[in-house]
Structure 1
Amino acid sequence: MMISRISIIIVLSCIITSTRAYDPDALQDLCVADKSHGTKLNGFPCKETSNITASDFFFAGISKPAVINSTSGSAVTGANVEKIPGLNTLSVSLARIDYAPGGLNPPHTHPRATEVVYVLEGELEVGFITTANKLFSKTIKIGEVFVFPRGLVHFQKNNGKSPASVLSAFNSQLPGTVSVAAALFATEPALPEDVLTKTFQVGTKMVDKIKERLATKK
C-alpha cells in the first residue's frame, strides 16, 4: 500500500512539473510591467502598487480587424505584455491575425510558447512541421481550434475569397516570433552568402533576388 501511494505521488509530481508554464511563476498577486525602469531581466520589473490602474490590464486593439498592407496579405495585432503591462509574470497573451483573401502568415516559430488559434471568420489552411520534417496540416473553419506546439515552424493561409481572422492564445506573456524567411535572408548583419547558397543549393543571383524582395517589405 505504501509503495502504491509513493508511486502515485511520483506520477502526480511529474505531471505537475511537465505542465507548468514556461514563463517564471509569479510570487505575488500583481507585477504590472514598469517599462520606464530601463531594466529587463527575464521579464519587466514591477510598477509601484500605488501607481497601478485598471488601464494596466486593458487593451482594445484586437476588437476590430487590422488594416492589411503587407505583401503576404496578413496582419498580426499582439495583445502581449508590451501592450498590456498587467500581463507581466502571468504567462499568457493573445494576438489577433487578419488575412486578406489568399493572405498568408508565413512560416515562423514562437520560441517561448505553444499557440492555439480559434477561427473568428473565414476558412484557413494551417499546419506545422516537426523536427522529423513531417507536416501536420488541416483546414479549419469558424469556431474551430488548432494547436501549434512550442518552437515548431508553422503557418496559416486564407484559401478563401473572403477575409479571415483568428484569435491566438499563447502560454507566455511575450512568445516572440522568428520569421523563417527574414531570419535567413534579412538579418543584420547578413548571413554569409555561401551559407545560403549551399543550404538552398542555388546561385548567388537567386539569393540576392530574395534578399532584395524581402528588403522592399520593410
Structure 2
Amino acid sequence: MQSTVTATDFFFLGLSVHPLSPRTSVGVVNRPHLHQRAMEVFFFFDGSVEIDFLPVTISKAEVFVFPRGLVHYKRNGGEAPAAAVSELDSQLFHIELVGQALCFRNRRWLTESEVLEEMKLGLGTMHG
C-alpha cells in the first residue's frame, strides 16, 4: 500500500527549532538564565554536565528538558570537555540572564543593599 503522506503534511507555520551546539571546557558555567518564550531540550553527547538548581548530572546519551520560564544553568564539573546540542522551540526564544533580571532597574545596576532589600535578605544571609 502506497503512503500519501508528504513533507507538507507536517509543516506548521511559525513552529521551528533553534539549535545551539555548546561545547564546554572543564569548570565552565553557563550562567543562570531563563527563556520566557521557549522550552529548551538539551541533548548530551559526551562528558558530564551539572544542570538546573537540583543536584542532577547528565551524562552521555541523556536528554533534559527545561520548561519555558524555568531558571536554569549548566556547569561542566567533570574531568573532560562536554559536548551537547541545545534546542529551543521558538525562533524568538530570548535569553534572560538572572543577574540582569534581579539587579538592573531603570537603566542602572542596583547597589548591593538595594538587591538585598529587593530580595528581603539581610547582609548576614548573603555573606554569613
Smaller-chain TM-score range? 0.7 to 0.9
User: Is 1:117 matched up with 2:42?
Assistant: yes
Higher strand share: 2
Q: Which residue number corresponds to residue 90 of structure 1?
A: 15
TM-score by structure 1 length? 0.45
1:181 paired residue among 96, 99, 105: 99
Bigger share in helix: 1
Please list, as runs of the form range in 1=range in 2, the aligned pairs for 1:134-149 lying within 5 A after superposition: 135-149=53-67
The sequence identity of aligned pairs, in percent, is 35
The alignment's TM-score, normalised by the length of structure 2, stands at 0.73
**Match of 2:115?**
196
After TM superposition, give the deviation of residue 165 of structure 1 in Å. Answer: 2.1
Distance 1:117 1:151 in 2: 15
What residue number does 2:71 align with? 153
Q: Within 1, Cα distance between the matches of 2:50 and 2:55? A: 7
1:164 to 56, 76, 82: 82
Q: Which residue of 1 aligns with 2:3?
A: none
Q: Relative to 1, partners in 2 of residues 1:137 and 1:170: Cα closer, same or farther, differing over 3 Å?
A: farther
Distance 1:169 1:202 in 2: 39
**Equivalent pair of 2:38/2:93 in contact (CA under 8 Å):** yes
Q: Amino acid of the residue matched to residue 25 of structure 2? A: A
State the Cα deviation string for residues 74-111 of structure 1 (Å, max 9, x = none).
Answer: xxxxxxxxxxxxxxx23321111221101111111000
- Give the gaps of 5 or more residues in structure 2: 1-11
Identify the structure with bigger relative contact order (alpha carbons < 8 Å, sequence gap 6+).
Answer: 2
Local SS of the residue matching 1:162: coil
Quick check: 1:102–1:157 contact (8 Å CA) kept in 2?
yes
Q: Distance in 1 between matches of 2:107 and 2:58?
A: 39
Q: What letter is aligned with 1:96? A: S
When Rg is computed on C-alpha atoms for both structures, the one with the higher figure is: 1
